[in-house]
């Protein structure tokens, strides 16, 4: 059987700035059976200029003239509110995660909230200082790769590797020039088992993402090229893409969820509703069981059916001992309690070992 799939229920900013709603989302994720629920830790002042425009999917209408800064300000949660969410997760037995969008936020999540792993958003794949800081935590890193080219993924990995080596006292350089990054890259697996340290998530940054834009096979290219575990950050509608991703090797999947897909906010429309989240997790739990192992053999549950549905060699006519058996003398019938019908041409043309009556199983 394949390994357990780690399912992240992505609450993101679907709390719309309300910690009470965020706590209810924790409860929903826990009840659905997800392994972790994930939020987003950011400060609008540290993330976007006041002049930064909204993305198309963030607009509530064509005449929405807010800036990204305006939108993000409405969706912030305080450190105290994140502590409440961490505690809520602990009480519900689900892992608390949050994506940090700046180094101060990452430090808060690691040192004060004790997150067990770091998530880097697709938009920050090129945010080198944050990548290095993520490596320096020494924690496992989940790296989303929406909008990325393969060369950008490798470069991001180099910065994380450099940070990880720094955390182990194995890299002294302050300025991470290309030469320093190349040195860290060459040493990454020998000294820190880097391939086991970072899980790379394939992703299409579109909300919701259309089927023809998902390109799920790229996940296998990522796995083959870098030798890391891979996963899928799913922005499509429904659960099918994630199910297929697990079939293609994803060990981590994440999916946005909400109480109301029609609610105002940037991610609700591409999210699962409560019933959808429960079905999503249930579907994903079935996939590793269905995939089983790479060995092809008769399953124990099949053994009793072999004799019932397979065939034996049967005398189609009365056959005398020593007579040369012809095609017309042999037929193949159920059950498979006699000589296997694989032996048809071993019997036809050979002398009968004894007398056979019509309908009798051929056993010699």
Per-residue pLDDT of 292-318, as tens digits, reads 999 999 999 999 999 999 999 999 999
- In a domain, residue 252? The reply is yes
**One domain for residues 37 and 181:** yes
Query: In this prediction, what percent of the chain has a pLDDT beyond 90?
Result: 85
Nearest 5°: the CA angle 197, 203, 208 is 145
**One domain for residues 250 and 317:** no
* CA dihedral (184, 185, 190, 191) positive or negative: positive
* Domain containing residue 78: CATH number: 3.20.20.70
- In angstroms, the CA 16 to CA 231 distance is 27
* Bridge partner residues of 99 (DSSP): 40
**One domain for residues 166 and 243:** yes
Instruction: Please tell me whether the overall predicted TM-score, pTM, comes out greater than 0.85 for this model.
Output: yes
**One domain for residues 156 and 124:** yes
- In a domain, residue 364? The reply is no
pLDDT at 60: 61
Ranges 45-49, 80-84, 215-219: which has the least confidence = 45-49
**One domain for residues 273 and 322:** no
Q: What is the mean pLDDT of residues 90-117?
A: 98
**One domain for residues 309 and 284:** no
**One domain for residues 134 and 244:** yes
**One domain for residues 127 and 156:** yes
**One domain for residues 307 and 217:** no
- In a domain, residue 356? The reply is no
Q: Give me the domain span that covers residue 336.
A: 300-347
* CA dihedral (245, 197, 118, 204) positive or negative: negative
- In a domain, residue 353? The reply is no
Total tally of structural domains belonging to the chain: 2
- In a domain, residue 158? The reply is yes
**One domain for residues 330 and 266:** no
Neighbours of 364 (CB within 10 A): 11
- In a domain, residue 361? The reply is no
Asked which of 291, 312, 336 is the last residue of a domain, the reply is 291
pLDDT at 282: 97
- In angstroms, the CA 38 to CA 101 distance is 13
pLDDT digits (tens, 9 = 90+) for 132-173: 999 999 999 999 999 999 999 999 999 999 999 999 999 998
- In a domain, residue 359? The reply is no
């Amino acid at each position: 059987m394949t390994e357990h799939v780690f399912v992240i229920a992505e609450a993101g900013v679907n709390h719309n700035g309300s910690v009470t709603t965020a706590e209810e989302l924790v409860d929903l994720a826990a009840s659905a059976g997800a392994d972790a629920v994930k939020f987003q830790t950011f400060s609008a002042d540290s993330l976007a200029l006041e002049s930064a425009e909204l993305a198309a999917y963030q607009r509530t209408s064509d005449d929405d003239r807010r800036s990204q800064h305006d939108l993000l300000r409405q969706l912030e949660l305080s450190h105290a509110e994140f502590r409440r969410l961490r505690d809520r997760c602990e009480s519900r037995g689900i892992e608390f995660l949050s994506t940090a969008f700046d180094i101060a936020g990452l430090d808060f999540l690691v040192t004060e909230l004790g997150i067990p792993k770091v998530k880097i958003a697709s938009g920050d794949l090129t945010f080198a200082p944050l990548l290095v800081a993520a490596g320096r935590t020494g924690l496992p890193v989940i790296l989303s790769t929406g909008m990325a080219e393969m060369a950008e993924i490798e470069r991001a990995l180099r910065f994380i590797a450099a940070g990880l080596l720094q955390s182990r006292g194995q890299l002294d350089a302050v300025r991470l020039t290309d030469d320093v990054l190349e040195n860290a890259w060459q040493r990454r697996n020998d000294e820190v088992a880097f391939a086991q340290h970072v899980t790379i998530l394939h992703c299409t940054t579109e909300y919701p993402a259309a089927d023809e834009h998902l390109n799920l096979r790229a996940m296998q290219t990522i796995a083959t090229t870098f030798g890391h575990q891979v996963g899928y950050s799913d922005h499509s509608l429904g659960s099918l893409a994630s199910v297929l991703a697990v079939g293609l090797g994803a060990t981590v999947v994440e999916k946005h969820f909400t109480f109301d897909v029609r609610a105002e906010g940037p991610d609700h429309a591409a999210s699962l509703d409560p019933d959808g989240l429960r079905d999503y997790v249930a579907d994903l739990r079935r996939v590793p069981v269905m995939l089983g192992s790479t060995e092809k053999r008769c399953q124990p549950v099949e053994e009793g059916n072999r004799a019932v549905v397979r065939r034996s060699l049967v005398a189609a006519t009365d056959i005398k001992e020593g007579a040369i058996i012809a095609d017309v003398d042999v037929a193949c019938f159920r059950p498979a309690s006699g000589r296997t019908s694989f032996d048809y041409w071993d019997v036809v043309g050979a002398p009968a070992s004894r007398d056979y009556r019509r309908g009798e199983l051929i056993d010699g």
